[in-house]
Amino acid sequence: MNFVRAHVLVCTGTGCSSAGADGIISAFEEQLKKNGLDEEVRVVKTGCLGLCAKGPNVVVYPEGVYYNYVSAEDVPEIVEEHLLKGRPVTRLIHGDAEDASKATNLTDTAFYKDQVRIALRNCGVINPEDIDEYIAYDGYAALAKVLTEMTPQQVIDEIKASGLKGRGGAGFPTGLKWQFAANSPGPVKYACCNADEGDPGAFMDRSVLEGDPHSVLEAMTIAGYAIGATEGYIYVRAEYPIAVERLKKALEQSHEYGFLGKNIFGTDFSFDIGIRLGSGAFVCGEETALMVSIEGKRGEPRCRPPYPAVKGLFGKPTILNNVETYANVCWIINHGAEAYAALGTEGSKGTKVFALGGKINNTGLVEIPMGTPLRQIIEEIGGGVPNGKKFKAVQTGGPSGACIPASQIDVPIDYENLTRIGAMMGSGGMIVLDEDDCMVDIAKFFLQFTVDESCGKCSPCRIGIKRMYDILDRITAGQGTLEDLDTLEELAAHIKGNALCGLGQTAPNPVLSTLKNFKDEYVAHVVEKRCPAGSCKALLNYTIDPAKCKGCSACSRVCPADAISGVVRSPFVIDQSKCIKCGSCMEKCKFGAISKG
């Protein structure tokens, strides 16, 4: 291998790829060649660096200079100034560090400095398509240790001692799950991975698969050894083409190196992994539905017990862990359960990855120790709410989750605290809402999602959620009554108690939590026929202020419904019976004469 004096890391996660990372890579290659640097500077495609909002992201080592919003046109300047002359291009450097003199370094930025990266340890650091880079970062050391030095029971005990809980949302202790499957008798068992990340607004698993696929394959093999399985499946969304492609490449490479297949590391343990693509059904994230789907049928869940640890895939004992859970396993084996358990809180050990999205400056992926206060995530790591708007709530856990209101912003994030305040950890989607978001509309949005995604097998979910949606639809149209609010709560209780699987049981959560924390907004819609956030169209009225209107007729010309009339150079008027509330007139008016409310 050639000696290389500098590395240029270009993020090729989904966000940065969409923003043009490929063009940047070819621009670097071309410019380096042109300047005769292609032998001494290497360009590396990495997985997600985390700060998707400011992509495309580029990091130049050895200094660790972090460039944001890079475009292909910026590349000649970076090559000539930074790589040739050693002068970082200050105008492109990420500028949120407290100390401006340190602002050049990635790990000193406010976004990174409080993060502890375990599941994401290799994301944005190594080239995910190169197994040698993974090995250089302790890759497959954990598997070697497990197969040559530990018994299956010792592996399970180590995972138990670490306190690792399932990161898919339910938070079931991972070690215990493995123990159940290990205790189930039988020569055929399966160790599977749930990569059917369906929460809208969550992309943790995707980033791990795209940025560090080998860590998941290695951990699945370790799990297979621990429970006595010889085969595993990874069920991944077909909507994640980059992740699927990198997984396939990783599988090929680990077969080639003998880390998968027969007699791994010369032991008598054999294990193999197959990829199955999900086909766009949210319910398949539920474990029993996922297994039915791997079997090639409609992904409808079934009653538990029997649990998958006893009777799972193809009727055999099976464990199913989430991608992020697996991403922690090798680190625990390498560094010891104690080191992992030292992070986090009493009941929740280790770290958690969150996908920050919505009304927040630093949209992206963050990994923080359990117990970090929500305020720190929003205000420091996330950089606060943009455009000077007021922070209103955070939605966690997607369609199964709840809203944490601004009054609870100091709550430390762990499983116990979130349950206590009536929210849930979920898989890690964290959507920030500001004053312009209507909580009734958000609840309706999630119910629309679960109505679409309900598999229809049990009636509480198929019919009940639809009825709740209808009520919310009425309320946002200004036709709700106060009794509707009681009916919502009653229906929610029935559905939670009687639905067959997790999808139905948790579907009412977004409604219940907004009813609890933002009841005044529901009441405003019902009683005053008003949407306080100014978001529900049916409750809005657009009006023209005669004092400000110059009579230019721009609004009446843009109106698609011919609802605006008037005489040029005197104030125009909106006919409310014709207005479809599209807002085009307000966008068009140069004088700020049109308001909504």
Check residue 134 for interaction with another protein (CB under 8 A): no
Q: Within 10 Å of residue 201's Cβ, how many Cβ atoms? A: 15
Among 42, 177, 189, 206, binds another protein (CB under 8 A): 206
Residue 367 touches another protein, criterion: CB under 8 A:
no
Least distance between another protein and beta carbon 278 (Å):
8
Nearer to another protein, 31 or 362 (CB): 362
Please say which residue, 175 or 502, places its beta carbon nearer to another protein.
502
Burial of 91 (0-12, 13-18, 19+ CB in 10 A): exposed
φ, ψ for residue 99, nearest 5 deg: -100, 115
User: Applying CB under 8 A, does 587 fall inside the site for another protein?
Assistant: yes
DSSP string, 322-358: EHHHHHHHHHHHHH-HHHHHTSB-SSSBSEEEEEEEE
How far apart, in whole angstroms, are the C-alpha atoms of residue 305 and residue 324? 25
Nearest Cα to Cα of residue 213 among 138, 123, 125? 123
Tell me: does residue 277 bind another protein (CB under 8 A).
Answer: yes
For the bound state, the minimum distance from the C-beta of residue 333 to another protein, rounded and expressed in Å, comes to 29
* Contact range with another protein by CB under 8 A, out of 237-245, 339-347, 377-385, 498-506: 237-245
The H or E element containing residue 6 is strand 6-11
Where does this chain touch another protein (CB under 8 A) — which range of 14-22, 68-76, 109-117, 172-180? 14-22
Q: How far is the CB of 445 from another protein (least distance, A)?
A: 6
If binding is defined by CB under 8 A, does position 357 make contact with another protein? yes
Closest separation between CB of residue 433 and another protein, Å?
A: 6
Is residue 53 a contact residue for another protein (CB under 8 A)? Answer: yes
Cβ closer to another protein: 214 or 276? 276
Instruction: State the pairing for strand pair 429-434/351-358.
Output: parallel
Closest CB to another protein among residues 202, 501: 202
Instruction: Report in angstroms how near the CB of residue 466 gets to another protein at its nearest.
Output: 14
Three-state secondary structure of 440-507: HHHHHHHHHHHHHHCCCCCHHHHHHHHHHHHHHHHHHCCCCCHHHHHHHHHHHHHHHHHCCCHHHHHC
Q: Which stretch binds another protein (CB under 8 A): 50-58, 150-158, 414-422, 563-571?
A: 50-58
**Per CB under 8 A, does 449 bind another protein?**
yes
Selected range binding another protein among 87-95, 182-190, 232-240, 374-382, rule: CB under 8 A: 232-240
Q: CB 280 → another protein: shortest distance, Å?
A: 4
Is position 358 an interface residue for another protein (rule: CB under 8 A)?
A: yes
Closer CB to another protein, residue 139 or residue 278? 278
Q: 576 burial class (0-12, 13-18, 19+ CB within 10 angstroms)?
A: exposed
Q: Does the protein bind another protein through residue 324 (CB under 8 A)? A: no
- Report the site for another protein in 143-202 (rule: CB under 8 A): 198-202
Number of residues that bind another protein (CB under 8 A): 55
Residue 246 binds another protein, judged by CB under 8 A:
no
Can you tell me the distance from the alpha carbon of 308 to that of 315, in angstroms, rounded to the nearest whole number?
A: 8
Determine which residue in the list 168, 171, 429, 460 makes contact with another protein, applying CB under 8 A: 429
Binding another protein (rule: CB under 8 A), the pick from 115, 194, 395, 509 is 395
If binding is defined by CB under 8 A, does position 437 make contact with another protein? Answer: yes
By beta-carbon proximity to another protein, the closer residue of 38 and 239 is 239
Peptide bond into 62 cis (omega under 30): yes
Closest distance of CB 499 from another protein, Å: 18
Q: Which residues pair with 432 in a beta bridge?
A: 358, 394
At 39, give phi and psi (nearest 5°): -85, -25
Assigned token pair, 300: 């409808």
In whole angstroms, what is the distance from residue 218 CA to residue 131 CA?
Answer: 12
Q: 11: buried, middle or exposed (CB in 10 Å: 19+, 13-18, 0-12)?
A: buried
What is the DSSP secondary-structure string of 204-240?
HHHHHHHH-HHHHHHHHHHHHHHHT-SEEEEEEETT-
Phi and psi torsions of 497, nearest 5°: -80, -20
| Residue 19 engages another protein in binding (rule: CB under 8 A) | yes
Q: Which residues bind another protein (CB under 8 A)?
A: 14-15, 18-19, 51-55, 198-203, 206, 238-240, 276-282, 293-299, 314, 355, 357-359, 363-364, 395, 398, 429, 431, 433, 437, 442, 445-446, 449, 455, 560, 582-583, 587
